[in-house]
A and B are shown apart, each in its own frame.
Chain A
Amino acid sequence: MNFQISEDQRALQEGVRSFCEGRLPDERLAELAEGGGFDRALWKDLAELGVFSLRRAQAEGGLGLGFCESVLVFAELGRRAAPGPLAWSQLAVSLIDGVAEGEVVVGGLDLTGGAALGPHLLEHLDHVDVLLVMDDAGLRRLDPNAIEARPVEVPLDPLTPLHRADSLPEGEWLAGPDEAARLRIEGAALLSGQLLGIAETTLLMAVAFAKEREQFGRPIGGFQALKHLMADMFVRQEVARSAVYAAGATLDDPLVGSAPRAVSAAKLVASEAALANAHACIQIHGGMGFTWEVPAHYFLKRARVLECCFGGSSEHADESARHLAERAEALVAARA
Chain B
Amino acid sequence: MDLRYSESDEKFRAELRAWLAEAVPAFGPPPGIHDWAARRLYDTGWQQKLFEAGYAGINWPREFGGRDLSATEQLVYYEEIARAGAPYIGVNFVGLLHGGPTLIAEGSAEQKARHLPRILRGEEVWCQGFSEPSAGSDLAALQTRAVRDGDDYVVSGHKIWCSFGPVADFGEFLVRTDPDAPKHRGISWLILPMDLPGIEIRPLPTLMGESDFSEVFLDNVRVPARNRVGAENDGWRITNVTLRFERGTAFASEMINLQQTLAKLTAFAKRVTSDGVRAWDDADLRRRLGHLAAELDALWAMVKLSVCEAEAAGIPGVGASAVKLFYTELNQRINEVGMRLLGRAGLCRDEIEDMPNALIAGRSLQSLSLTIAAGTSQIQRNIISERILGLPREPRPTAEKAKPA
A interface list, Cβ under 8 A from B: 1-6, 9, 68, 203, 207, 210-211, 218-219, 221-222, 224, 226-228, 230-232, 234-235, 238-243, 245-246, 248-250, 253, 255-257, 261-262, 264-266, 268-269, 313-314, 316-325, 327-329, 331-332
Contact = CB atoms under 8 A, between A and B. Distances in A.
B199 interface: no
Contact of B295 (A221, A232, A239, A245): A239
Given A5-B1, A218-B392, 6 more contacts: A221-B392, A230-B385, A234-B389, A256-B4, A317-B286, A317-B290
B301 A243 contact: yes
Contacts of A327: 259, 263, 266
B290 A230 contact: no
A223 to B, nearest CB: 9
Nearest to B265: A328
A234 B302 contact: no
Given A2-B308, A4-B309, A317-B287, A239 B389 contact: no
A328 B294 contact: no
A75 to B, nearest CB: 12
B391 A243 contact: no
Interface centre among B5, B270, B302, B388 (most CB of A within 10 A): B302
B92 to A, nearest CB: 27
B293 A320 contact: yes
Interface string B1-31: 1111110010000000000000000000000
Contacts of A6: 1
Nearest to B260: A331
24 contacts: A1-B5, A1-B6, A1-B304, A3-B304, A210-B391, A211-B390, A211-B391, A221-B392, A222-B393, A231-B382, A234-B322, A239-B295, A242-B298, A246-B3, A246-B301, A253-B3, A256-B3, A265-B298, A316-B290, A317-B288, A320-B291, A321-B293, A324-B266, A332-B267
A226 to B, nearest CB: 8
A55 to B, nearest CB: 14
A221 B386 CA distance: 10
Contacts of A256: 3-5
A256 B380 CA distance: 32
A232 B381 contact: yes
Given A3-B1, A318-B286, A238 B322 contact: yes
B297 A321 contact: no
Contact of B381 (A231, A242, A319): A231
Contacts of B348: none
Contacts of A203: 389
Interface residues of B, number: 56
Interface string B296-325: 011101101100110010000001001001
A4 to B, nearest CB: 5
A4 B266 CA distance: 33
B264 interface: yes
Given A245-B1, A331-B267, A219 B298 contact: no
A268 B291 contact: yes
Contact of A228 (B260, B283, B294, B378): B378
B327 to A, nearest CB: 10
B119 to A, nearest CB: 27
Contacts of B262: 324
Contacts of A261: 297
Interface of B: 1-6, 9, 72, 75, 259-260, 262-264, 266-267, 270, 280, 283, 286-291, 293-295, 297-299, 301-302, 304-305, 308-309, 312, 319, 322, 325-326, 378, 380-382, 384-386, 388-394
Contacts of B288: 317
A275 B12 CA distance: 42
B363 to A, nearest CB: 17
A323 B286 CA distance: 12
Contacts of A230: 385, 389, 391
Nearest to B1: A68
B298 A253 contact: no
Given A239-B298, A317-B294, A248 B1 contact: yes
Contact of A9 (B1, B297, B308, B389): B1
A11 B253 CA distance: 34
A324 B3 contact: no
Given A222-B392, A324-B262, A264 B1 contact: no
Given A1-B4, A250-B3, A256-B3, A264 B309 contact: no
Contacts of A255: 4
Nearest to B304: A3
A212 B326 CA distance: 28
A2 B2 contact: yes
Contacts of A207: 389-391
A327 B260 CA distance: 9
B308 A235 contact: no
Contact of A320 (B3, B263, B290, B390): B290
